[in-house]
Structure 1
Amino acid sequence: MWNRDLDVLVPMWQGADDIRVRDGAAALGALTAPGTRRITVPVVAGGSEREKGVRHRAAVVDAYRAHRDVLARHHPRRLLTLGGDCAVEVASVAHLAGHYAQRLFVLWIDAHGDLNTPASSPSGMAHGMPLRLLLDGDADAALPAPGCLTPGQVALVGVRDLDPAEVEYVHRHDLTVLDTATLGAHPPRLAELPPPGAAVYVHLDLDVLDPSALPAVAVPTPGGLTPAALTRSLTALRTRHRVVGVGITEYVPQVEHDQQVLGEVLGALGLRGDLPT
């Protein structure tokens, strides 16, 4: 069991413009053994048209502020975040960066880089922007702007669908990338990425898994990891490093799938509760 101070469930869907992921937070919560305290962050029901380059911007910003305020009240140093879409990670990672500073190391395990800006994003979806916000902030204030990480504190894992501007950003900043082929062949490689003594945050967008294994995600992307490779890599990581945060996002429970796959992943993270029979 992974011990933590706080679980936050953030049923935000507006960042992905996909209302199905709203139910993912509660569904993941039902599958996850609870921590010391569990809170659901209030998220407004509606959306809006594109504003300052971001679809549903007002709802995304409101959810970020509500999430940030919950974390400020409870001061967790070990945190589980269950989304919702990937934009929910901004408040959680920024909060832990405030505690751990340069010791924080973020494993962005995701089919996508989430490195767009409002200007570079083809879709204007906020769930394609959280890692860029955490690295650079947002000078135009189109979204909340933490800017709390450096490129050396991040590794992209399982990424295989990048927009051109994201490819350029990865190369320009020499971001560490661990692709699916390498990790699939050698799962313990994940544990080699954080430096000794790091406080590790695991961002897990479930679309890192191949859709043949888990189709119940917002953006299924071929060429993903097998469940065996992901679970072995996460087990190796927890054996070698101190995990201070986990965020799991983009689950669409309405799509038919083998729930045992999800149970195995949660188990590798020390989170598995009793699966429904």
Structure 2
Amino acid sequence: MKSPRFTLSATAVWTLAVAFTAQADDGYDAPADWPSPMTEHAVGSVLVDRLEYAWPEDGEEALSWDFQAWYGGDFQRLYVKGEGENTQGDGEDAEFESLDLLYSRLIDDFWELQGGVGYQGGLGSEDHPERYFGVLTLQGLAPYRFETEADLRVSDDGDLSMSLEQELDLRLTQRLYLQPRLEVAAALDDAPEFGVGDGLNSVQTGLRLRYELHRKFAPYVGAYWKKLYAQTADLARDSGGSTEDTVVVVGVRMWF
């Protein structure tokens, strides 16, 4: 004698799924003394988004970098971020455009609000001017998968500045990616020693084509265009610099 079989039609399965979803939407809360179904563990990661050598049409060649490291869980993290360059052949030390220590809190799906302190200047050098900031950052994934970072900075002299960075990874093959990138910077106060005037400071846009030899290691080539505006452009002219440039880059992106 065969054992009885119990089968569910597709309609019955769908009905049960809807019922369970409706129950979940009713806002059922587990008792306070129940343990969490999943234990959160602190982990960390380091991403070197750009480590590249640049050949500008005008100006000096430079080695530049952009990295971020974090440690924490799904909702709270501690970040260290750095961006800067070392101009080749000028006899001066490397300079950090920004070096930030930030506490981050997840405020919505794919969005983090970060706050902390920042630094700008040449580490280990007395030749570079330097300043410190209070930093507020919104970082996340905008619609259509644009990776976005918007900064608001107040220096120790009370100077207010803002920046916006966006980039998009377009997958061409399983290993080949095209990455358009946009950076916009503005300030509400002058800081002539840093080459910054009030108003719109600069716009930079470019493309990088990278090939993933490994998921954690991807060399790339690219180019970008940068233009200075308003009083920032005037300060560049006064110091003998250019206000517009096209730059070719070769670099590597890696994380671990």
| TM-score strictly above 0.5 | no
Superposition TM-score, scaled by structure 2 size: 0.29
Q: Per residue, is there more helix in 1 or in 2? A: 1
Larger radius of gyration: 2
